Structure 1
Amino acid sequence: MARPKIAPKNQGLDPRLYCEYAGLVRLQAQVESFSLLPHLNSGSVLSGRHHSLFRGRGLNFEELRHYQTGDDIRNLDWKVTMRTGKPHVRSYTEEKDRNVMVCIDQRSGMFFSSTQVMKSVVAAELGAMCGWRVLKDGDRVGFVIAADNALYHSKAKRSQHDFLAQLKRLSKANQRLNVQSLNSDKVDFGHWVSLLKRMKLKQSTFIIISDWRDCEDHHLDHLKQLQQHNDVLAVTISDPFEQALPKDLVKMKWVIGDGRYQLNLDNQTKVAAASAGLAEQTTKQRQSVAELMAMKRLPHIELDTSGNHIAQFKKQVGRR
């Protein structure tokens, strides 16, 4: 007799600060209400993608339409043609069998929030949801996890057992983070992109979930090369404080830092200068990532730390 499945237990961690393996498993219940490429509704901003990119599992009837020059005469619908007196053809779309690599940023810079939920938690939960959706669609899913100490990756598989093992690794990487975390030199965005290129995948989908803060122009050039033979979907997670600082911050006498350097915001001039710098960096980053997405006419998905990231994501990729 097979043993009944036992749901994983919670560890009792604050869900705003850390994600737990049990919580990532429960996100499976969320996948029925949104779609990923190419299984999308006609009203979705992502609809119409991937009609002939990937190896097919079969053909789905799409529409009956008038014959046009160049159509394959083998697709003529003779019954409709005879009834209407005008040639009609049956149009089909190919079912796809995809490799999807979900790339999740769990480095020290993601352990931040000025509102409700850490960026690292948002990224982990979105990554888990995407993985569950891919498995639900019958495709293969793999993970690339950028932790603060190393880059971890797994081959794309159509295996729930392997996927659950990756969720455990993801939760451990998430729970390693704290205010004293420092990134290893081997986990910067350049090393991350190099790992993706070394996989030498084609006709695959990469979902990159990050704050993109250390992504530079030459890194984007490499991703554009990757985009030529694959689809790269960018998900940016940002916090309001990373775009502009509150004007009354000087009264709080904050000291901000990146783990190595600190800045004492003890006057309005410093606050204004820091805020202007953040705004400039954010604008440049958005423009660069949007340009990458424009190569395949994909949207740049932007989420925040307000705690509404799941609803925001579902709205932007399209509900079922």
Structure 2
Amino acid sequence: MAKPTHAPHSDVLDSRLYCDYARLVRLQAQAESFTLLPHLCAGSVLSGRHHSLFRGRGLNFEELRHYQVGDDIRNLDWKVTMRTGKPHVRSYTEEKDRNVIICVDQRSAMFFASTEVMKSVVAAEIAAICGWRVLKDGDRVGFLIAAHNRLYRHQPQRSQNALLSQLKRLVQVNQTLDVTCVDHDEVSFSRWIELIKRMKTKQSTLILISDWHDCAPRHLDQLKQLQQHNDVLAIMVSDPLERSLPQDLAQANWVVGDGQYQLNLDSHAKVDLASAHLTEASSIQRQSLSKLMAMKNLPHIEIGTQGDHIEHFQKRIGGR
């Protein structure tokens, strides 16, 4: 169980543009209002502790049942046996710790918002509150941070100091983002997935927080393979402008670009075409992620940039 941490004072910083270390620490208090454990799919790591296949003197009592050939006689419940006249045994399951790896996207495409808060800030704060929740559950938490220029990997640990160190790194990476950033080839979604696979996770929980803009079908196939032996929880951070464009945009003569290419939206035809493309692409991505989550009956979670991302996440994950 994590001990309460005194939050540091915030620097003068626009919290809509960049995440703040003090804010990430204060999110510890809000980690009490939801759980990654009991309200999700039964049989999933996320739905509770990972239960060992070994039966015996474990931590949790599971059931009282009739004796079967091969049962350990040390587990006989003599009171029930004497009362019923038939041998009964008490069955236990051994409880194991979880390794939870939080993969958070802080690449250049995340430095965007058309409403209140940058996608990069939303992703960082959701990652932080998940980290605090995992630590409060007594499990190990590690981070895999995708910056615009490199990938940072932190091994899962059950340590508040380790989590604070990882949050500091997350803030440092977040605050390097600006409109001039261009992603290096080493931080593509392919490299991100490759690094996750090299970690050789098994019976772990992977929480991926991204806008999923460069996630291709082959990457989803790889995540499906990971889903077979782990729990992969995909969280999409999206902005309304990435789903469709307003009709009056042509009158403003907008020019949009990605740092390399530009598109002049100076006519209704161009705006309609671009908007239709955005709508189709985002719909396909949502459907693909929903299918990935359906493998373990987990919720498809999408969070916006309107500023209510913490409350929305708590509600979607099973807040109480």
- TM-score w.r.t. the length of structure 1 is 0.88
C-alpha deviations, 1:157-208, integer Å up to 9, x for none?
1111111111111001111111221111111100100010111121111100
Distance in 2 (alpha carbons) for counterparts of 1:29 and 1:6: 11
8 Å contact from structure 2 (residues 206, 231) kept in 1: yes
Opposite residue 240 of structure 2, the aligned amino acid is P
Inter-CA distance 169–81: structure 2 relative to 1 (3 Å threshold)? same
The CA deviation at 1:95 is: 2.5
Match of 2:226 in 1: 226
Is 1:33–2:33 an aligned residue pair? Answer: yes
Match of 1:61 in 2: 61
Q: Mean alpha-carbon deviation: is it higher for 205-214 or for 252-261?
A: 252-261
Match of 1:95 in 2: 95
Unaligned runs of 5+ in 1: none
The CA deviation at 1:60 is: 2.1
Match of 1:122 in 2: 122
The CA deviation at 1:45 is: 3.8
Inter-CA distance 28–58: structure 2 relative to 1 (3 Å threshold)? farther
Inter-CA distance 69–116: structure 2 relative to 1 (3 Å threshold)? farther
8 Å contact from structure 1 (residues 303, 309) kept in 2: yes
8 Å contact from structure 2 (residues 50, 97) kept in 1: no
Q: Mean alpha-carbon deviation: is it higher for 44-53 or for 173-182?
A: 44-53
The CA deviation at 1:287 is: 1.3
Match of 2:250 in 1: 250
The CA deviation at 1:255 is: 1.1
Is 1:292–2:287 an aligned residue pair? Answer: no
Inter-CA distance 72–306: structure 2 relative to 1 (3 Å threshold)? farther
Distance in 1 (alpha carbons) for counterparts of 2:239 and 2:175: 20
Inter-CA distance 167–67: structure 2 relative to 1 (3 Å threshold)? same
Matches within 5 A, 1:140-289: 140-289=140-289
Opposite residue 238 of structure 2, the aligned amino acid is S
Secondary structure class of the residue paired with 1:247: coil
C-alpha deviations, 1:267-312, integer Å up to 9, x for none?
1111110010001101111111112112222111111111111111
8 Å contact from structure 2 (residues 151, 187) kept in 1: yes
8 Å contact from structure 1 (residues 232, 293) kept in 2: yes
Opposite residue 133 of structure 1, the aligned amino acid is R
Opposite residue 275 of structure 1, the aligned amino acid is S
Secondary structure class of the residue paired with 1:215: coil
Unaligned runs of 5+ in 2: none
Inter-CA distance 134–265: structure 2 relative to 1 (3 Å threshold)? same
8 Å contact from structure 1 (residues 140, 158) kept in 2: yes
8 Å contact from structure 1 (residues 108, 177) kept in 2: yes
The CA deviation at 1:230 is: 1.3
C-alpha RMSD over aligned residues = 2.6
C-alpha deviations, 1:23-42, integer Å up to 9, x for none?
11111111111101xx32xx
Inter-CA distance 143–54: structure 2 relative to 1 (3 Å threshold)? farther
The CA deviation at 1:68 is: 11
Distance in 1 (alpha carbons) for counterparts of 2:31 and 2:155: 22
Inter-CA distance 230–248: structure 2 relative to 1 (3 Å threshold)? same
Inter-CA distance 300–87: structure 2 relative to 1 (3 Å threshold)? farther
Secondary structure class of the residue paired with 2:193: helix
C-alpha deviations, 1:191-241, integer Å up to 9, x for none?
100010111121111100000010001111111121222111100111111
Secondary structure class of the residue paired with 1:145: strand
Opposite residue 132 of structure 1, the aligned amino acid is W
Inter-CA distance 34–91: structure 2 relative to 1 (3 Å threshold)? farther
Distance in 1 (alpha carbons) for counterparts of 2:20 and 2:43: 35
Secondary structure class of the residue paired with 2:208: strand
Distance in 2 (alpha carbons) for counterparts of 1:68 and 1:292: 41
Distance in 1 (alpha carbons) for counterparts of 2:144 and 2:203: 17
C-alpha deviations, 1:72-102, integer Å up to 9, x for none?
6866756457657898775655433011100
